[in-house]
Amino acid sequence: ENFLQKTSAPFSTNSYDAFISPNTLNLSSFTKLMKKLQEIHPEASRDKIVDALLEVRKNNKGILSGLSISSIVERTSVIL
pLDDT along the chain (80 residues), means of 10: 43 45 63 92 95 94 88 95
Whole-number pLDDT of residue 65: 84
Sequence-ordered list of residues with C-beta below 8 angstroms from that of 53, at least 6 positions apart, any chain: 19, 33, 37, 64, 72, 76
- Residue 19's identity, in one-letter code, is F
Whole-number pLDDT of residue 78: 96
The answer to pTM > 0.75 is no
Q: CA-CA distances (angstroms) from residue 30 to 5, 6, 27, 49, 77?
A: 31, 31, 5, 12, 15
CA dihedral sign, ordered 62, 45, 71, 65: negative
Whole-number pLDDT of residue 31: 86
Whole-number pLDDT of residue 18: 46
